[in-house]
Structure 1
Amino acid sequence: MLTSDDLEFLRRPLHGFLAVAGGPVRPVWFEATADGAIQLFTPRESPKVRRLDDDPRASIIVAAPVGERERWVSVSGPATVEPDGAHDLAARLAERYWDLEDPAHAGELAGIQTLDLVRLVIRPEKVSRYLM
């Protein structure tokens, strides 16, 4: 479903905008996996998790930043809440999005690592894309 061009685009440190049924859209860090799933981390007690327990539909859209040609990729499908791997994912994503040599960012990551985290994994049923 995701093409190699999509995966290359999604490996950049861009923000995704996550929507789950019944909830607001939120900016998130994310990772595209080798098998084409999208994963992110969140606290176990977050409203996203409760909403996904009721209705597993989720979608994420990722857009190129200002100054680049218009481009976006949207992935929609069922999301699962996985109890393992969230802390490792948080560490990988913090390294991707932040300069961890900065003590403030390193401290924020240390704080994130103390939380009870889960991984949200979206399995694509529908992928849309646009490249101007």
Structure 2
Amino acid sequence: MFRDEDLALLARPLYAFLTVAPRGDRWPSPRPVWFELTPDGALQLFSLPDSPKVDRLRDNPRASIVVAAPTGEPEHWVAVEGEATVHDDGANELALRLADRYWTFTDPEHEKLLDEWRTGDLVRIVLRPDKVNRYSA
């Protein structure tokens, strides 16, 4: 489902923008998230179990993620739509892997947060692509 140039973009420590179905009269509101591509082609991220996005995913398990190259590079983005599932396993390990991917550990506040993630209550969100759109300049 992904092309080689998509995989190269998704392998970078870039923010993904996650959108889930809104509630009531609200508009969809994307949130920046850390993510990783799994060997089977899904995207996974972690969250607190009581976050609004997790609540909404439990009600309507569809989501989209957009990842884009940063400013200053040729335009390139990948948009993924699909079913999202919430899992109680693997979130702490994922959080630690992603912290290693996204952070340099010079900030003591990062260490404090890592300690919370090691033992805290987190969930893992897995988005399985049904549709992939892309653009590459």
Structure 2 counterpart of 1:119, which letter? R
**Separation (CA, whole Å) in 1 of partners of 2:6 and 2:38:** 12
Q: Which residue of 1 aligns with 2:112?
A: 107
In structure 1, stretches of 5+ residues that fail to align are none
**Separation (CA, whole Å) in 2 of partners of 1:50 and 1:104:** 28
Structure 2 counterpart of 1:13, which letter? P
**Separation (CA, whole Å) in 2 of partners of 1:16 and 1:91:** 17
RMSD after superposition: 1.3
Per the TM alignment, residue 101 of structure 1 is displaced from its structure 2 partner at its CA by 4.4
Q: Which residue of 2 aligns with 1:11?
A: 11
**Separation (CA, whole Å) in 1 of partners of 2:126 and 2:16:** 14
Normalised by the length of structure 2, the TM-score is 0.90
**Separation (CA, whole Å) in 2 of partners of 1:109 and 1:4:** 32
Of 55, 59, 65, the residue aligned with 1:60 is 65
Instruction: Give % identity.
Output: 58
Secondary structure of 1:110's counterpart equals helix
Residues 1-132 of structure 1: matches in 2 within 5 Å? 1-22=1-22, 23-132=28-137
Secondary structure of 2:40's counterpart equals coil
Normalised by the length of structure 1, the TM-score is 0.94
**Separation (CA, whole Å) in 2 of partners of 1:66 and 1:72:** 12
Secondary structure of 2:94's counterpart equals helix
**Separation (CA, whole Å) in 2 of partners of 1:83 and 1:92:** 17
Per the TM alignment, residue 111 of structure 1 is displaced from its structure 2 partner at its CA by 2.7
**Separation (CA, whole Å) in 1 of partners of 2:20 and 2:97:** 24
Structure 1 runs (4+) greater than 6 angstroms displaced: none
**Separation (CA, whole Å) in 2 of partners of 1:25 and 1:6:** 20
Secondary structure of 2:70's counterpart equals coil
> How many positions carry a matched residue from both structures?
132
**Separation (CA, whole Å) in 1 of partners of 2:53 and 2:38:** 21
Report Cα offsets for 1:8-55 as digits up to 9, x if no partner.
Answer: 210101000000011521000011111110000001111111101111
In structure 2, stretches of 5+ residues that fail to align are 23-27
